[in-house]
Structure 1
Amino acid sequence: MGMTPVVIPAMPLGYTVGLFRGFLNCHQMLTLSLICMTTSASTTVEIFFWRWQNIILPSSSLKLRTITYYGIWLFALSLLFSSLALIHIHLDSDQMLLRFKLKETYSCADFLFQQPGVYICEASRYMWVVIYGVISCSVGGFFLVLFVYQSLHAINQMASNRSVHARNVHKKLIYLLCAQMMFPMGAYAIGGTTIVISLSMQLVWMQQAFNFAILIFSNYGFAASLCLIICNEPYLRHTRKLCSCDMKSRKKNSAIVRVIDRSVVLT
Protein backbone atom coordinates (compact mmCIF):
# COMPACT_ATOMS: atom_id res chain seq x y z
CA MET A 1 0.00 0.00 0.00
CA GLY A 2 3.00 2.32 0.28
CA MET A 3 5.00 3.49 3.29
CA THR A 4 3.33 6.78 4.24
CA PRO A 5 4.18 8.83 7.35
CA VAL A 6 1.10 7.30 8.98
CA VAL A 7 2.00 3.70 8.19
CA ILE A 8 5.62 3.92 9.38
CA PRO A 9 4.85 4.39 13.11
CA ALA A 10 1.44 2.74 12.98
CA MET A 11 2.39 -0.72 11.73
CA PRO A 12 5.17 -1.66 14.21
CA LEU A 13 3.32 -0.21 17.20
CA GLY A 14 -0.04 -1.67 16.26
CA TYR A 15 1.18 -5.16 15.46
CA THR A 16 3.41 -5.47 18.53
CA VAL A 17 1.09 -4.17 21.25
CA GLY A 18 -0.37 -7.66 21.60
CA LEU A 19 3.14 -9.02 22.18
CA PHE A 20 3.99 -6.26 24.65
CA ARG A 21 1.03 -7.26 26.81
CA GLY A 22 2.83 -10.47 27.76
CA PHE A 23 5.69 -8.82 29.65
CA LEU A 24 4.59 -5.22 30.36
CA ASN A 25 2.67 -4.26 33.45
CA CYS A 26 -0.38 -1.99 33.42
CA HIS A 27 1.65 1.13 34.15
CA GLN A 28 3.85 0.49 31.11
CA MET A 29 0.83 -0.40 28.97
CA LEU A 30 -0.75 2.90 29.96
CA THR A 31 2.34 4.76 28.74
CA LEU A 32 2.40 2.69 25.54
CA SER A 33 -1.24 3.57 24.87
CA LEU A 34 -0.44 7.27 25.24
CA ILE A 35 2.49 6.83 22.82
CA CYS A 36 0.21 5.14 20.27
CA MET A 37 -2.42 7.87 20.53
CA THR A 38 0.15 10.68 20.36
CA THR A 39 1.94 9.13 17.37
CA SER A 40 -1.29 8.61 15.47
CA ALA A 41 -2.51 12.15 16.11
CA SER A 42 0.85 13.71 15.22
CA THR A 43 1.17 11.77 11.97
CA THR A 44 -2.36 12.80 11.02
CA VAL A 45 -1.47 16.45 11.61
CA GLU A 46 1.82 16.01 9.74
CA ILE A 47 0.28 14.44 6.66
CA PHE A 48 -2.47 17.07 6.72
CA PHE A 49 0.00 19.95 6.43
CA TRP A 50 2.20 18.14 3.91
CA ARG A 51 -0.57 17.15 1.52
CA TRP A 52 -2.47 20.38 2.14
CA GLN A 53 0.40 22.62 1.09
CA ASN A 54 1.06 20.41 -1.96
CA ILE A 55 -2.56 20.86 -3.05
CA ILE A 56 -3.11 24.50 -2.08
CA LEU A 57 0.43 25.81 -2.69
CA PRO A 58 1.87 23.57 -5.43
CA SER A 59 4.30 26.14 -6.86
CA SER A 60 4.18 29.00 -4.37
CA SER A 61 7.15 30.54 -2.59
CA LEU A 62 5.29 30.09 0.70
CA LYS A 63 5.66 26.32 0.45
CA LEU A 64 8.10 24.95 3.02
CA ARG A 65 11.16 23.01 1.96
CA THR A 66 11.18 19.31 2.75
CA ILE A 67 14.13 19.56 5.16
CA THR A 68 12.57 22.50 7.02
CA TYR A 69 9.21 20.78 7.18
CA TYR A 70 10.50 17.52 8.62
CA GLY A 71 12.78 19.43 10.99
CA ILE A 72 9.74 21.18 12.47
CA TRP A 73 7.87 17.88 12.66
CA LEU A 74 10.72 16.09 14.43
CA PHE A 75 11.06 18.98 16.89
CA ALA A 76 7.35 18.79 17.70
CA LEU A 77 7.58 15.01 18.14
CA SER A 78 10.55 15.38 20.48
CA LEU A 79 8.52 17.74 22.67
CA LEU A 80 5.57 15.35 22.69
CA PHE A 81 7.66 12.31 23.60
CA SER A 82 9.47 14.31 26.28
CA SER A 83 6.11 15.06 27.86
CA LEU A 84 5.24 11.36 27.65
CA ALA A 85 8.51 10.48 29.40
CA LEU A 86 7.62 12.92 32.19
CA ILE A 87 4.17 11.34 32.46
CA HIS A 88 5.73 7.86 32.70
CA ILE A 89 8.16 8.94 35.44
CA HIS A 90 5.41 10.70 37.38
CA LEU A 91 3.12 7.66 37.21
CA ASP A 92 5.97 5.42 38.35
CA SER A 93 6.77 7.62 41.35
CA ASP A 94 3.09 7.84 42.22
CA GLN A 95 2.84 4.05 42.19
CA MET A 96 5.81 3.76 44.56
CA LEU A 97 4.31 6.23 47.03
CA LEU A 98 0.95 4.47 46.93
CA ARG A 99 2.67 1.12 47.44
CA PHE A 100 4.44 2.28 50.62
CA LYS A 101 1.19 3.82 51.85
CA LEU A 102 -0.81 0.61 51.37
CA LYS A 103 1.89 -1.57 52.94
CA GLU A 104 1.15 0.06 56.28
CA THR A 105 -2.40 -1.30 56.18
CA TYR A 106 -2.38 -4.38 53.93
CA SER A 107 0.25 -7.11 54.03
CA CYS A 108 -0.52 -8.27 50.48
CA ALA A 109 0.29 -4.91 48.87
CA ASP A 110 3.66 -6.08 47.50
CA PHE A 111 2.08 -9.15 45.95
CA LEU A 112 -0.66 -7.13 44.26
CA PHE A 113 1.72 -4.57 42.78
CA GLN A 114 3.86 -7.36 41.30
CA GLN A 115 0.96 -8.75 39.27
CA PRO A 116 1.07 -7.59 35.61
CA GLY A 117 -2.72 -7.33 35.35
CA VAL A 118 -3.22 -5.20 38.48
CA TYR A 119 -3.06 -1.43 38.49
CA ILE A 120 -3.89 0.30 41.76
CA CYS A 121 -4.27 4.06 41.68
CA GLU A 122 -6.42 6.93 42.90
CA ALA A 123 -8.77 7.50 39.99
CA SER A 124 -9.43 11.17 40.73
CA ARG A 125 -5.71 11.99 40.36
CA TYR A 126 -5.49 10.41 36.91
CA MET A 127 -8.10 12.51 35.17
CA TRP A 128 -5.35 14.57 33.53
CA VAL A 129 -4.05 11.40 31.84
CA VAL A 130 -7.51 10.82 30.38
CA ILE A 131 -7.67 14.46 29.28
CA TYR A 132 -4.27 14.14 27.53
CA GLY A 133 -5.42 11.09 25.57
CA VAL A 134 -8.77 12.61 24.60
CA ILE A 135 -7.13 15.88 23.49
CA SER A 136 -4.54 14.08 21.33
CA CYS A 137 -7.25 12.08 19.57
CA SER A 138 -9.47 15.16 19.19
CA VAL A 139 -6.63 17.17 17.61
CA GLY A 140 -5.93 14.40 15.10
CA GLY A 141 -9.61 14.04 14.25
CA PHE A 142 -10.02 17.79 13.84
CA PHE A 143 -7.16 18.02 11.35
CA LEU A 144 -8.51 15.00 9.48
CA VAL A 145 -11.88 16.72 9.00
CA LEU A 146 -10.14 20.00 8.14
CA PHE A 147 -8.00 18.22 5.56
CA VAL A 148 -11.09 16.80 3.85
CA TYR A 149 -12.81 20.20 3.78
CA GLN A 150 -9.78 22.11 2.47
CA SER A 151 -8.98 19.48 -0.16
CA LEU A 152 -12.52 19.30 -1.53
CA HIS A 153 -12.73 23.10 -1.55
CA ALA A 154 -9.49 23.30 -3.54
CA ILE A 155 -10.71 20.67 -6.00
CA ASN A 156 -13.98 22.53 -6.59
CA GLN A 157 -12.00 25.66 -7.46
CA MET A 158 -10.25 23.74 -10.23
CA ALA A 159 -13.43 23.82 -12.33
CA SER A 160 -12.09 26.50 -14.67
CA ASN A 161 -9.02 24.59 -15.86
CA ARG A 162 -9.72 20.95 -15.01
CA SER A 163 -12.15 18.48 -16.52
CA VAL A 164 -14.85 16.68 -14.57
CA HIS A 165 -12.90 13.44 -14.81
CA ALA A 166 -9.76 15.07 -13.38
CA ARG A 167 -11.73 16.51 -10.45
CA ASN A 168 -13.30 13.14 -9.73
CA VAL A 169 -9.88 11.49 -9.75
CA HIS A 170 -8.60 14.09 -7.28
CA LYS A 171 -11.60 13.55 -5.02
CA LYS A 172 -11.09 9.80 -5.06
CA LEU A 173 -7.42 10.27 -4.19
CA ILE A 174 -8.39 12.51 -1.26
CA TYR A 175 -10.91 9.96 0.01
CA LEU A 176 -8.33 7.17 -0.15
CA LEU A 177 -5.77 9.29 1.67
CA CYS A 178 -8.32 10.07 4.39
CA ALA A 179 -9.09 6.36 4.66
CA GLN A 180 -5.38 5.65 5.17
CA MET A 181 -5.31 8.19 8.00
CA MET A 182 -8.67 7.17 9.43
CA PHE A 183 -7.78 3.53 10.13
CA PRO A 184 -4.78 4.14 12.44
CA MET A 185 -6.42 7.23 13.91
CA GLY A 186 -9.61 5.32 14.70
CA ALA A 187 -7.73 2.30 16.05
CA TYR A 188 -5.56 4.33 18.41
CA ALA A 189 -8.39 6.66 19.40
CA ILE A 190 -10.80 3.85 20.30
CA GLY A 191 -8.29 1.35 21.68
CA GLY A 192 -6.02 3.82 23.42
CA THR A 193 -8.85 5.78 25.00
CA THR A 194 -10.41 2.54 26.22
CA ILE A 195 -7.17 1.49 27.94
CA VAL A 196 -6.50 4.92 29.43
CA ILE A 197 -10.01 5.35 30.83
CA SER A 198 -10.28 1.78 32.14
CA LEU A 199 -6.94 1.98 33.94
CA SER A 200 -7.36 5.49 35.28
CA MET A 201 -10.93 5.05 36.47
CA GLN A 202 -10.36 1.49 37.79
CA LEU A 203 -13.39 0.09 35.98
CA VAL A 204 -14.62 -3.43 36.62
CA TRP A 205 -14.29 -4.55 32.99
CA MET A 206 -10.60 -3.60 32.76
CA GLN A 207 -9.43 -6.93 31.33
CA GLN A 208 -12.18 -6.90 28.68
CA ALA A 209 -11.12 -3.37 27.73
CA PHE A 210 -7.51 -4.56 27.32
CA ASN A 211 -8.58 -7.48 25.13
CA PHE A 212 -10.76 -5.23 22.97
CA ALA A 213 -8.01 -2.63 22.51
CA ILE A 214 -5.34 -5.24 21.72
CA LEU A 215 -7.67 -6.83 19.15
CA ILE A 216 -8.01 -3.46 17.39
CA PHE A 217 -4.29 -2.65 17.64
CA SER A 218 -3.20 -6.02 16.28
CA ASN A 219 -5.59 -6.36 13.34
CA TYR A 220 -6.45 -2.92 12.03
CA GLY A 221 -3.49 -2.87 9.62
CA PHE A 222 -4.62 -6.01 7.83
CA ALA A 223 -8.24 -4.81 7.79
CA ALA A 224 -7.25 -1.41 6.40
CA SER A 225 -5.11 -2.89 3.62
CA LEU A 226 -7.80 -5.40 2.70
CA CYS A 227 -10.55 -2.77 2.57
CA LEU A 228 -8.47 -0.37 0.48
CA ILE A 229 -7.59 -3.10 -2.02
CA ILE A 230 -11.16 -4.37 -2.34
CA CYS A 231 -12.85 -0.96 -2.51
CA ASN A 232 -10.42 0.64 -4.97
CA GLU A 233 -10.33 -0.64 -8.52
CA PRO A 234 -6.73 0.48 -9.38
CA TYR A 235 -5.38 -1.18 -6.21
CA LEU A 236 -7.34 -4.34 -6.94
CA ARG A 237 -6.16 -4.42 -10.55
CA HIS A 238 -2.57 -3.77 -9.46
CA THR A 239 -2.75 -6.60 -6.91
CA ARG A 240 -4.07 -9.00 -9.53
CA LYS A 241 -1.35 -7.88 -11.91
CA LEU A 242 1.34 -8.52 -9.31
CA CYS A 243 -0.02 -12.01 -8.65
CA SER A 244 -0.26 -12.82 -12.36
CA CYS A 245 3.23 -11.44 -13.04
CA ASP A 246 4.62 -13.59 -10.28
CA MET A 247 3.05 -16.69 -11.79
CA LYS A 248 4.28 -15.77 -15.26
CA SER A 249 7.82 -15.13 -14.01
CA ARG A 250 7.88 -18.53 -12.36
CA LYS A 251 6.86 -20.19 -15.61
CA LYS A 252 9.30 -18.08 -17.59
CA ASN A 253 12.26 -18.74 -15.32
CA SER A 254 11.64 -22.47 -15.03
CA ALA A 255 14.35 -24.61 -16.53
CA ILE A 256 13.52 -26.21 -19.87
CA VAL A 257 15.60 -29.14 -20.98
CA ARG A 258 15.34 -30.32 -24.54
CA VAL A 259 17.04 -33.48 -25.70
CA ILE A 260 17.59 -33.77 -29.41
CA ASP A 261 18.63 -37.13 -30.71
CA ARG A 262 20.93 -36.73 -33.66
CA SER A 263 22.04 -39.79 -35.52
CA VAL A 264 25.50 -39.80 -37.05
CA VAL A 265 25.73 -41.31 -40.49
CA LEU A 266 29.17 -42.52 -41.64
CA THR A 267 29.82 -42.85 -45.33
Structure 2
Amino acid sequence: MERLMNVQIFIPCFVDQLFPQTAFNMVKVLEKAGCTVSYNPNQTCCGQPAFNAGFWNESKAVCSKFLQDFQDAEYIVAPSASCVGFVRNYYHTLFDNSSSHNRSIKLGEKTFEFSEFMVKVLGVDNVGAVLEGKATYHDSCAGLRECKIKEEPRRLLSKVKGLELAEMEDVETCCGFGGSFAVKFESISIAMADQKVTHALETGAKYLISTDLSCLMHLDGYIKNKGYNLQTLHIADVLANGW
Protein backbone atom coordinates (compact mmCIF):
# COMPACT_ATOMS: atom_id res chain seq x y z
CA MET A 1 0.00 0.00 0.00
CA GLU A 2 1.27 3.46 -0.85
CA ARG A 3 2.73 5.41 2.03
CA LEU A 4 0.45 8.36 2.74
CA MET A 5 1.92 10.40 5.57
CA ASN A 6 4.36 10.50 8.43
CA VAL A 7 2.96 9.91 11.90
CA GLN A 8 4.66 10.28 15.26
CA ILE A 9 3.00 8.28 17.99
CA PHE A 10 2.58 9.42 21.56
CA ILE A 11 2.29 6.57 24.07
CA PRO A 12 0.72 7.60 27.40
CA CYS A 13 2.45 6.65 30.65
CA PHE A 14 0.00 3.92 31.71
CA VAL A 15 -0.13 2.42 28.21
CA ASP A 16 3.66 2.24 28.15
CA GLN A 17 3.81 0.59 31.57
CA LEU A 18 0.69 -1.58 31.65
CA PHE A 19 -0.66 -2.09 28.11
CA PRO A 20 2.28 -1.94 25.68
CA GLN A 21 0.67 -4.42 23.30
CA THR A 22 -2.05 -1.89 22.53
CA ALA A 23 0.62 0.55 21.40
CA PHE A 24 2.16 -2.07 19.14
CA ASN A 25 -1.27 -2.89 17.72
CA MET A 26 -1.92 0.77 16.98
CA VAL A 27 1.34 0.92 15.03
CA LYS A 28 0.39 -2.26 13.19
CA VAL A 29 -2.94 -0.78 12.07
CA LEU A 30 -1.49 2.62 11.16
CA GLU A 31 1.17 1.00 8.99
CA LYS A 32 -1.42 -1.15 7.24
CA ALA A 33 -3.43 2.01 6.59
CA GLY A 34 -0.42 3.46 4.76
CA CYS A 35 1.39 5.54 7.36
CA THR A 36 5.08 5.75 8.08
CA VAL A 37 5.18 5.56 11.87
CA SER A 38 7.95 6.87 14.10
CA TYR A 39 8.46 6.94 17.86
CA ASN A 40 10.54 9.47 19.74
CA PRO A 41 12.06 7.59 22.71
CA ASN A 42 12.64 10.89 24.53
CA GLN A 43 8.91 11.39 25.07
CA THR A 44 7.54 11.23 28.59
CA CYS A 45 4.15 12.37 29.93
CA CYS A 46 1.67 14.86 28.45
CA GLY A 47 1.45 16.57 31.85
CA GLN A 48 -2.19 15.87 32.60
CA PRO A 49 -1.84 14.11 36.01
CA ALA A 50 0.03 17.03 37.57
CA PHE A 51 -2.35 19.55 36.00
CA ASN A 52 -5.45 17.77 37.30
CA ALA A 53 -3.92 17.56 40.76
CA GLY A 54 -3.42 21.34 40.80
CA PHE A 55 0.35 21.40 40.24
CA TRP A 56 0.25 23.69 37.23
CA ASN A 57 3.88 24.82 37.37
CA GLU A 58 5.12 21.24 37.47
CA SER A 59 2.70 20.32 34.70
CA LYS A 60 3.91 23.20 32.54
CA ALA A 61 7.49 21.91 32.74
CA VAL A 62 6.36 18.49 31.47
CA CYS A 63 4.20 20.09 28.77
CA SER A 64 7.13 22.20 27.60
CA LYS A 65 9.08 19.01 27.04
CA PHE A 66 6.15 17.58 25.08
CA LEU A 67 6.15 20.66 22.84
CA GLN A 68 9.87 20.20 22.26
CA ASP A 69 9.68 16.45 21.62
CA PHE A 70 6.92 16.78 19.00
CA GLN A 71 7.74 20.15 17.44
CA ASP A 72 8.63 18.63 14.05
CA ALA A 73 5.74 16.16 13.84
CA GLU A 74 3.42 16.20 10.84
CA TYR A 75 0.78 14.33 12.84
CA ILE A 76 0.74 13.05 16.42
CA VAL A 77 -1.46 10.03 17.13
CA ALA A 78 -2.19 8.53 20.55
CA PRO A 79 -4.28 5.57 21.77
CA SER A 80 -5.88 7.82 24.39
CA ALA A 81 -8.55 10.49 23.96
CA SER A 82 -7.75 11.63 27.50
CA CYS A 83 -4.21 12.71 26.65
CA VAL A 84 -5.24 14.13 23.28
CA GLY A 85 -8.05 16.12 24.90
CA PHE A 86 -5.61 17.57 27.42
CA VAL A 87 -3.14 18.68 24.75
CA ARG A 88 -5.89 20.22 22.64
CA ASN A 89 -7.93 21.92 25.33
CA TYR A 90 -5.56 22.87 28.15
CA TYR A 91 -2.10 23.49 26.71
CA HIS A 92 -3.16 26.92 25.45
CA THR A 93 -4.28 27.78 29.00
CA LEU A 94 -0.95 26.76 30.51
CA PHE A 95 1.00 28.68 27.88
CA ASP A 96 -1.28 31.71 27.72
CA ASN A 97 0.58 35.00 27.34
CA SER A 98 3.87 33.21 26.61
CA SER A 99 6.12 32.68 23.61
CA SER A 100 4.86 29.06 23.41
CA HIS A 101 1.16 29.94 23.20
CA ASN A 102 0.76 29.80 19.42
CA ARG A 103 3.01 26.75 19.23
CA SER A 104 0.81 24.93 21.74
CA ILE A 105 -2.31 25.70 19.70
CA LYS A 106 -0.72 24.44 16.49
CA LEU A 107 0.44 21.28 18.25
CA GLY A 108 -3.08 20.62 19.46
CA GLU A 109 -4.41 20.95 15.92
CA LYS A 110 -2.20 18.12 14.68
CA THR A 111 -2.72 15.80 17.66
CA PHE A 112 -5.31 13.06 17.17
CA GLU A 113 -6.85 10.12 18.98
CA PHE A 114 -6.24 6.91 17.03
CA SER A 115 -9.77 6.12 15.78
CA GLU A 116 -10.40 9.75 14.95
CA PHE A 117 -7.20 9.89 12.90
CA MET A 118 -8.08 6.71 11.03
CA VAL A 119 -11.50 7.96 9.91
CA LYS A 120 -11.20 11.75 9.70
CA VAL A 121 -7.62 12.13 8.46
CA LEU A 122 -6.80 8.90 6.64
CA GLY A 123 -10.36 8.21 5.48
CA VAL A 124 -9.94 4.53 6.37
CA ASP A 125 -12.67 2.58 8.13
CA ASN A 126 -11.89 -1.02 7.16
CA VAL A 127 -8.51 -2.65 7.80
CA GLY A 128 -9.68 -6.24 7.42
CA ALA A 129 -10.08 -6.95 11.13
CA VAL A 130 -11.94 -10.04 12.33
CA LEU A 131 -13.50 -10.62 15.75
CA GLU A 132 -16.38 -13.00 16.34
CA GLY A 133 -18.99 -12.08 18.91
CA LYS A 134 -21.15 -9.35 20.30
CA ALA A 135 -19.65 -6.13 21.62
CA THR A 136 -20.75 -2.88 23.18
CA TYR A 137 -18.90 0.41 23.05
CA HIS A 138 -18.13 2.78 25.94
CA ASP A 139 -17.80 6.49 25.19
CA SER A 140 -15.06 7.87 27.42
CA CYS A 141 -15.71 11.35 28.82
CA ALA A 142 -12.53 12.65 27.20
CA GLY A 143 -13.35 11.08 23.85
CA LEU A 144 -16.94 12.26 23.75
CA ARG A 145 -16.75 15.63 25.47
CA GLU A 146 -13.20 16.86 24.94
CA CYS A 147 -12.39 15.36 21.55
CA LYS A 148 -15.96 15.22 20.17
CA ILE A 149 -15.48 11.60 19.10
CA LYS A 150 -18.69 9.63 18.68
CA GLU A 151 -19.17 8.07 15.24
CA GLU A 152 -15.54 7.33 14.33
CA PRO A 153 -14.96 4.29 16.59
CA ARG A 154 -18.42 2.92 15.82
CA ARG A 155 -17.77 3.23 12.11
CA LEU A 156 -14.51 1.31 12.46
CA LEU A 157 -16.12 -1.39 14.60
CA SER A 158 -19.03 -1.77 12.17
CA LYS A 159 -16.52 -2.93 9.54
CA VAL A 160 -14.97 -5.64 11.74
CA LYS A 161 -15.97 -8.98 10.29
CA GLY A 162 -17.97 -11.17 12.68
CA LEU A 163 -18.52 -8.41 15.23
CA GLU A 164 -22.04 -7.40 16.24
CA LEU A 165 -22.21 -4.01 17.94
CA ALA A 166 -25.00 -3.34 20.45
CA GLU A 167 -25.53 0.02 22.18
CA MET A 168 -25.90 -0.06 25.96
CA GLU A 169 -28.28 2.06 28.01
CA ASP A 170 -26.90 5.43 29.19
CA VAL A 171 -23.90 4.91 26.95
CA GLU A 172 -22.63 8.48 27.43
CA THR A 173 -22.54 8.26 31.23
CA CYS A 174 -19.12 8.31 32.94
CA CYS A 175 -17.62 4.98 34.01
CA GLY A 176 -16.46 6.44 37.34
CA PHE A 177 -12.69 6.43 36.82
CA GLY A 178 -11.77 10.08 36.35
CA GLY A 179 -8.14 9.62 37.42
CA SER A 180 -7.77 10.74 41.03
CA PHE A 181 -11.58 10.80 41.36
CA ALA A 182 -11.51 7.01 41.73
CA VAL A 183 -9.14 7.39 44.68
CA LYS A 184 -10.75 10.37 46.38
CA PHE A 185 -14.32 9.14 45.95
CA GLU A 186 -13.93 5.38 45.90
CA SER A 187 -17.50 4.41 46.78
CA ILE A 188 -19.00 6.71 44.13
CA SER A 189 -16.48 5.50 41.58
CA ILE A 190 -17.35 1.85 42.25
CA ALA A 191 -21.09 2.58 42.03
CA MET A 192 -20.59 4.24 38.66
CA ALA A 193 -18.54 1.27 37.43
CA ASP A 194 -21.31 -1.06 38.61
CA GLN A 195 -23.88 0.89 36.62
CA LYS A 196 -21.73 0.93 33.48
CA VAL A 197 -20.89 -2.79 33.64
CA THR A 198 -24.52 -3.68 34.37
CA HIS A 199 -25.66 -1.83 31.26
CA ALA A 200 -22.93 -3.52 29.21
CA LEU A 201 -23.93 -6.97 30.43
CA GLU A 202 -27.58 -6.28 29.65
CA THR A 203 -26.71 -6.08 25.95
CA GLY A 204 -25.44 -9.66 26.02
CA ALA A 205 -22.02 -8.46 24.87
CA LYS A 206 -18.88 -10.54 25.18
CA TYR A 207 -16.62 -7.53 24.64
CA LEU A 208 -16.58 -4.03 26.11
CA ILE A 209 -14.61 -1.73 23.80
CA SER A 210 -13.37 1.85 24.17
CA THR A 211 -10.75 4.33 22.96
CA ASP A 212 -9.40 4.78 26.49
CA LEU A 213 -7.53 2.20 28.52
CA SER A 214 -7.92 4.32 31.64
CA CYS A 215 -11.67 3.65 31.56
CA LEU A 216 -11.15 0.02 30.60
CA MET A 217 -8.61 -0.54 33.38
CA HIS A 218 -11.13 0.74 35.92
CA LEU A 219 -14.01 -1.31 34.49
CA ASP A 220 -11.90 -4.45 34.08
CA GLY A 221 -10.95 -4.32 37.76
CA TYR A 222 -14.61 -4.23 38.71
CA ILE A 223 -15.51 -6.98 36.21
CA LYS A 224 -12.81 -9.31 37.51
CA ASN A 225 -13.73 -8.60 41.12
CA LYS A 226 -17.29 -9.70 40.37
CA GLY A 227 -16.27 -12.61 38.15
CA TYR A 228 -18.32 -11.47 35.16
CA ASN A 229 -17.81 -12.94 31.69
CA LEU A 230 -16.99 -9.69 29.91
CA GLN A 231 -13.70 -8.86 28.20
CA THR A 232 -12.43 -5.30 27.88
CA LEU A 233 -10.63 -4.34 24.67
CA HIS A 234 -9.07 -1.17 23.31
CA ILE A 235 -10.19 -0.40 19.76
CA ALA A 236 -6.61 -0.75 18.47
CA ASP A 237 -6.52 -4.33 19.78
CA VAL A 238 -9.77 -5.06 17.96
CA LEU A 239 -8.62 -3.58 14.65
CA ALA A 240 -5.30 -5.45 14.78
CA ASN A 241 -7.08 -8.80 15.25
CA GLY A 242 -7.58 -11.43 12.56
CA TRP A 243 -4.90 -10.51 10.02
What is the TM-score normalised by the length of structure 1? 0.28
The structure with the largest alpha-carbon Rg is: 1
Determine which structure has the larger strand proportion and give its number: 2
What is the TM-score normalised by the length of structure 2? 0.29
